[in-house]
Structure 1
Amino acid sequence: MTETRARAPHRVVTLVRPGLLPMELGIVHRLFGTAVGADGRPLYSVVTCAPEPGELTTDADFTVNVRQGPGALEDADTVLVPAAAEDYEPQERGRLAPPVRQALARVPAGARVASICTGSFVLAAAGMLAGRRATTHWKSCDELRTLYPEVDVDPDVLYTDDRGVLTSAGVAAGIDLCLHMIRQDHGAEVANVVARRTVVPPHREGGQAQYIEQPVPEPGTSSTVAARAYALGHLGEPLTLEDLAREAAMSVRTLSRRFLLETGVTPMRWITEQRLQHARRLLERTDEPVDHIASEAGFGTGTAMRQHFREELGVSPRAYRNTFRGAT
């Protein structure tokens, strides 16, 4: 964190449009607005603007009065674009109203830009997703891919983060996205506090594949909950598919299939995610050597953990600790 950024809260600006979804706007204000440092100071200032300020319709039975216009975007550190009712109209997708296009042109170079749900169509229409990995609500992924073949659409994740441009899946995935950005800026502990205050999980398991409409399981169908609970209690030990299948009382093949349906990822991918989360918490909260944390988190060696940190977070464990241990 730079000295300037330490003195001034990170400025988050939400660009809303007529027909906005109030819940998506509320997510941004609630999560970023409750993030504070160790001294209690706000870590973010949150502002709402519209391409044309004034009274905006919503998809509910009330309106929202947005006082600030697109000029608010000019000094944004992060810009959020939530969905609007028009995004759900096929004939509107692929279009970008001139006021919205002009507003996005005011976003500073280097600012982080993110969308919630079908707000991704706005970023795509503005050319911000070209050559980048992105997602949107699972019902709209095929259409996003068809309209914008230059976008690498991933329908299986809750959010994406590709070189400063982020997208999220359905409405609630906006929570996952905002927590990810807070975690990225200030570490897992700050994000965890925000999540606890909001009574949501700090990191949801898997991707949106688990929320796609599936046939209702037959009564008595087994779940992988027991296997996941066992894994969380034994992260520091070698874990195999056979171990998980035994705890779930099912075959390895059945476990793998049901795990993917319930979490959106494979069992071993899920375990890696949990180990990374555990290692991050230990790096922030303790002074234990990296090799000791690697062993406790289940990576075996410091070398293996460093490789995972590089691949998943883009930094080394030491750099992560230097950034987030007492940084806020």
Structure 2
Amino acid sequence: MSNFIIGTAGHIDHGKTSLIKALTGFDTDRLREEKERGISIDLGFSYLDFPDGSKAGIIDVPGHEKFLNNMLSGVVGMDLILFVVAADEGVMPQTVEHLNILNLIGVKNGIIVMTKSDMVDDEMLELVAEDIRESFKDTFLQKAKITTVSSKTGAGIEDLKGEIRLAMNNVEPRSVTKQARLPIDRVFTLKGIGTVVTGTVIEGTIRLNDEMSLFPQNTNQRVRNIQVHNQNENTASAGQRAAINLAATAKKEIRRGEVLAEKDSLHISDMMDVELILLSDTLRTVRNGSRVHFFVGTAEA
């Protein structure tokens, strides 16, 4: 089985983080403010074990509209989306917004997960399922399976694991032979270890003691240690979440959105050719000279 990244999407408080905890046993809300407010603010990370010993990385994104930039940083490198819709609320504003974003970036694989099944009766479950089918027409999820679960009681969780395992067979493997590239989504320091960056290896393979570059500043970096799923490894390959310990680099010198890549593998430019696609329901018009928010990789420019 190739390496594999699962991501969440959906409206605030529809149970994305609780679902990941039910699947993995890990609480991806790591910030004190997240614990206090009961909502996800930044990206959360975990992994899912399978009976054959394989693992899939997981990225849990926030659902609140105020943290949309954090959600956008997380969708990079996702192979399969668990699109969460709560049975007690149905399709909501951020449901539509997240669906639009995933369509625009070209995500192809997903499972619709109807959560909080323990809070409604069977008639309500059927009504919400109909609402989902109508709202998800003409999207990458229009034919996706709807799996009903309760993170509270555990109902449907094992069935969902089976659906995830089957969906992994439809994901196109990433190239591990291309030049390595990792968009950084988190930077922190550990006492006695130093600066650590995390991200999804988009392509290629990063090896212990590799001499790499940090872009766009194009500074030289040496890979001192690699962790994948909390285990020390000699390599991190395309499709894996990785924590990379960089030698002799301070945390203040690195920001989310920068890219760790092989030396001389990227060209630095302040211009880019893009194709603009306007959503059919948008009320905005883009004209020559319009100012827009621009997201690339894990960065907002």
TM-score (norm 1): 0.25
**Greater relative contact order (CA < 8 Å, ≥ 6 in sequence):** 2
* Higher normalized strand content (fraction of residues): 2
Larger Rg: 1
